[in-house]
């Protein structure tokens, strides 16, 4: 009902502007009206309205809280995503830092043991080779000493390789998979935080609260506006001029705006000139009525002047 009233008022104001535009004024003054471009602030997610932080008519600053929806499930999602990221990070750390210090120390001790065994077997082999030339040691005993030396050397090589592998950590493909898991969980956490943040909406710019469309406790569907803002820079004057006046108007030029009871005149800069002509009523498409062609003009105010004006307000516009 409220929206319909606004649309009806705008239509009436537009008709009044059209009618006013058809009566040329030798003084260069034309009737118009103030137009406001509203900002409808909504959340992309639905939920119960738990906090309406502003009221109709309030002035708000950029970044000020406007409203908050219930967001318990989104908070749970953030906590779960944080735990998943911590778990993925721990798995990656475990793969990149190798085995634990105590496990590496155990391998180092075993390597020292087999190295000692190798030294002992090599010394035993050397003695038997010396005695073998004097026919004191049989050929079988010499072969056995050589076999033991080779076996001890193989154990040294094995534990050396095991120790190097333990210090390297996980395989390259396993580390890559763990890094991808961390990146995935980081993205999931960012999304969870975004969903959590969307349940709170803040003023995008300094503005006046034109209307609030819900009350605390009501359910707000996703995408439905809760607060309607009117920033000062979105205020403009709209008026209509006949075609013979167009050469006098250029974008970037200033026009003078006054209204009943105004203590001063206001300056507005022309920012838009309609590219299409309109006929003032009644619509008669003939050569004789070409003088009734009018063009819509829009001009914007400074933020300070806009704060003193109201949408729908009838004004007089004088060209320079």
pLDDT tens for 258-317 read: 988 888 889 999 999 998 887 665 444 445 555 567 889 999 999 888 888 899 999 999
Chain segment 44-93, per-residue pLDDT in tens: 999 999 999 999 999 999 999 999 999 999 999 999 999 999 999 988 88
d(CA 265, CA 306) in angstroms, rounded, equals 12
Q: Residue 201: helix, strand or coil by DSSP?
A: strand
**Residue entry with tokens 């890559």:** 176
How does 156-165 read in b/e, with b if 16+ C-beta sit within 10 Å? beebeeebee
Chain segment 8-30, per-residue pLDDT in tens: 344 444 444 444 444 445 456 88
Each domain of the chain, given as residue ranges in start order, spans 2-70+205-318, 80-191
Q: What are phi and psi of 287, to 5 degrees?
A: -65, -35
Query: What are the start-end ranges of the E strands in 176-284?
Result: 200-202, 207-212, 219-220, 225-230, 235-242, 254-258, 266-273, 278-279
CB neighbourhood size of 210 (10 A): 17
Chain segment 179-232, per-residue pLDDT in tens: 899 999 999 999 999 999 999 999 999 999 999 999 999 999 999 999 999 999
| pLDDT at residue 10 in the model | 46
| CATH topology assigned to domain 2-70+205-318 | OB fold (Dihydrolipoamide Acetyltransferase, E2P) (2.40.50)
Contact status, residue 232 vs residue 96, Cβ threshold 8 Å: no
């Amino acid at each position: 009902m409220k929206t319909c009233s606004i649309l009806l008022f705008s239509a009436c104001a537009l008709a009044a502007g059209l009618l006013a535009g058809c009566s040329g004024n030798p003084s260069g003054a034309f009737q118009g009206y103030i137009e406001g471009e509203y900002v409808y602030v909504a959340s992309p997610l639905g939920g119960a309205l738990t906090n309406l932080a502003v009221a109709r008519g309030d002035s708000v600053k950029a970044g000020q809280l406007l409203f908050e929806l219930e967001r318990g499930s989104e908070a749970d999602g953030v906590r779960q995503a944080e735990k998943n990221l911590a778990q993925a990070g721990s798995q990656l750390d475990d793969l990149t830092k190798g085995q634990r210090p105590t496990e590496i120390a155990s391998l180092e001790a075993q390597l020292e043991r087999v190295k000692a065994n190798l030294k002992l077997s090599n010394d035993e082999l050397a003695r038997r080779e010396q005695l073998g030339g004097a026919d004191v040691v049989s050929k079988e005993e010499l072969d056995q000493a050589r076999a033991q030396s080779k076996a001890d050397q193989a154990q040294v090589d094995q534990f050396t390789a095991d120790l190097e592998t333990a210090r390297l950590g996980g395989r390259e493909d396993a580390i890559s998979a763990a890094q991808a898991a961390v990146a995935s969980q980081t993205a999931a956490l960012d999304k969870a935080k975004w969903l959590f943040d969307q349940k709170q909406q803040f003023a995008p710019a300094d503005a006046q609260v034109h209307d609030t469309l819900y009350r605390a406790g009501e359910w707000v569907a996703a995408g439905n506006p809760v607060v309607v803002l009117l920033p000062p820079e979105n205020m403009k004057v709209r008026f209509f001029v006949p075609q013979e006046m167009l050469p006098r108007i250029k974008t970037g030029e200033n026009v003078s705006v006054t209204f009943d009871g105004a203590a001063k005149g206001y300056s507005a800069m022309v920012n838009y000139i309609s590219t299409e002509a309109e006929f003032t009523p009644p619509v008669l498409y003939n050569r004789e009525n070409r003088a009734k062609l009018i063009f819509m003009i829009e001009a914007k105010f400074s933020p300070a002047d806009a704060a003193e004006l109201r949408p729908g307000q009838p004004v007089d516009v004088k060209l320079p």
